[in-house]
Structure 1
Amino acid sequence: MVSERIAQLINEQIGHEQYAAQYYLSMSAWFSAKDLDGIANYFRVQSKEELMHADKMFDYLNDVGGEIIISDIPKPPHLFENPVDIFTKALEHERKVTKSIFNIVKSANEEGDFATTAFLQWFITEQVEEEASASQYVTKIKMVCDNPSALYLFDQELAQRVFVAEGK
């Protein structure tokens, strides 16, 4: 059985993951409106991954007897300055998500909740990958955004990304 405190933190994280999905969908829409469908695809896949993360946490909380409380999801921004602005905001957001997950792990460790700590290890590994990827894309978009040919190739690169659902 999970404590009320850990259940609350996981419920909050479910909300963060759902917000992230909407945030990335908003970014996808911005690129789609600029006919950069490959980059739009990248953020669309990001959105789907965030929903999958929320689902994993939902299922875990249910499995350990925690009360699931669905929170309101704030409206994400939809106005962005340029591609660099969007990728920079995506990296900043991933860093916030990492801190939030670390906070749950810290609390779980303090309570001796080894099941939650073990469950969240997958998310820690995922966040390391997400931050590294987001950082690389910030670097790349800064290199290519003023060069239409390079931007076209970057768009084509990101068009290749596909969503892969992972098991529970």
Structure 2
Amino acid sequence: MLEKKVADLINQQVNKEFYSAYLYLDFANYYEDLGLSGFANWYKIQAQEERDHAILMMNYLQDNGCRVVLEAIDKPDKEFNDKMGPLKAGLEHEQYVTGLIHNIYDAAYSIKDFRTMQYLDWFVKEQGEEEKTAEDLIKKMELFGDDAKSLYMLDQEMGARVYTAPSIMAAE
């Protein structure tokens, strides 16, 4: 059984991960409206990953005798005026999620819950990758986004992304 504070933080994170999926679907809709279906594809796949993160955390809670409480998902509140907007909001959101994961890790560390810390190691690493990817997308848009041919090629690159279940799922 998990300590209540750690379980509550993980449960809150389940709901934050579902919000992340919802947010990224909103980004996908924005790009679809702009005719950038590759960017829309990229964010749809990102939404699937976030949903999987929520499921992984739900499973961890349930495997440790904890009840999962799903809350209402807030409506994304971002308004964008350019192609860069969702990319910057995505990086900001990933940095926020990294902070949330670190808070859970810190709570587990404070009570020497080594099992939860080990479990969270994958998410800590994942967040580093998520932030790096978001930064790379911003750099690419800064470099190529104003040139129509380059933007087309970048959109094609984004459209080539395929869904791959998180590696931690295979380990379960």
- The bucket for the TM-score relative to the shorter chain is over 0.9
The yes-or-no answer on 1:27 pairing with 2:7 is no
Superposed counterparts of 1:53-132, under 5 Å: 53-77=53-77, 79-132=79-132
Does the CA-based 8 Å contact 1:3-1:66 persist in structure 2? no
Please state how far the C-alpha of 1:72 moved relative to its aligned partner: 1.5
* CA distance in structure 1 between the partners assigned to 2:144 and 2:15 by the alignment: 34
Structure 1 stretch displaced more, 140-149 or 20-29: 140-149
- RMSD of Structure 2 on Structure 1 (CA): 1.0
Q: Which amino acid aligns with 1:28?
A: A
Does the CA-based 8 Å contact 1:28-1:43 persist in structure 2? yes
Does the CA-based 8 Å contact 1:7-1:68 persist in structure 2? no
Q: Show the counterpart of 2:165.
A: 165
* CA distance in structure 1 between the partners assigned to 2:75 and 2:107 by the alignment: 28
Aligned residue pairs, count: 168
Does the CA-based 8 Å contact 1:38-1:158 persist in structure 2? yes
Query: Scaled by the length of structure 2, what TM-score is found?
Result: 0.95
Does the CA-based 8 Å contact 1:27-1:78 persist in structure 2? no
The yes-or-no answer on 1:136 pairing with 2:131 is no
Calculate percent identity across the aligned residue pairs. 36
Please state how far the C-alpha of 1:77 moved relative to its aligned partner: 2.7
Q: Show the counterpart of 1:38.
A: 38
Please state how far the C-alpha of 1:34 moved relative to its aligned partner: 1.3
Unmatched runs of 5 consecutive residues or more in structure 1: none
Please state how far the C-alpha of 1:35 moved relative to its aligned partner: 1.3
* CA distance in structure 2 between the partners assigned to 1:21 and 1:52 by the alignment: 9
Q: Which amino acid aligns with 1:104?
A: I
Cα-to-partner distance string for 1:49-73 (whole Å, 9 max, x where unaligned) = 0000000000000001122111121
Q: Which amino acid aligns with 1:51?
A: R
Query: Scaled by the length of structure 1, what TM-score is found?
Result: 0.97
Q: Show the counterpart of 2:5.
A: 5
Q: Which amino acid aligns with 2:20?
A: A
